[in-house]
Homo-oligomer: A and B are copies of this chain.
Amino acid sequence: MDRSKALAALSALAHETRLDLIRLLTPQGDEGMAAGQIAETLGLAAPRLSFHLSALEQAGLLRSRKVARNVFYSVDPSGIGRTISYVLNDCCRDNPEVLAACTHKAQGALAVSGTEKT
């Protein structure tokens, strides 16, 4: 993931409404959720939702597909994953302390990340 894409993704995440969208859509998996249903669930005006969904999609964090009149949005797990990886690997250079600090629930798991290559 290059610099500018990572930056776009981080900017996309740095907004309350868009974090709400990620939070809502992640459990929905690949099927995702129609824009109208999202708007209703979160109580957002349509243009505002469209704006934020588009920002997330541009940033590679969401996918969309049309079904009849509806547009279903779903999270792109690899987009989020690559963004996190950019911060950890590129910016923090796999610093062990940082890696240790971001794995509360899997203590030490990421600490080995410097030892293997994909």
Give chain A's interface residues, CB within 8 Å of chain B: 3, 6-7, 10-11, 13-16, 19, 22-23, 26-27, 75, 77-85, 87-95, 97-107, 109-110, 112-118
Chain A binding surface, main DSSP class: helix
Task: Given A14-B10, A88-B84, decide whether A109 and B107 contact each other with a Cβ distance below 8 A.
Answer: no
Residues of B within 8 A of A106 (CB): 109-110, 112-113, 115-116
Chain B nearest Cβ from A76, distance in angstroms:
9
Task: Given A7-B16, A11-B14, A19-B7, decide whether A85 and B104 contact each other with a Cβ distance below 8 A.
Answer: yes
Residue of B nearest to A111 (CB): B106
| Cα of A93 to Cα of B19 in the assembled complex, Å | 12
Across the interface, do A80 and B93 meet the contact criterion of CB distance under 8 Å?
no
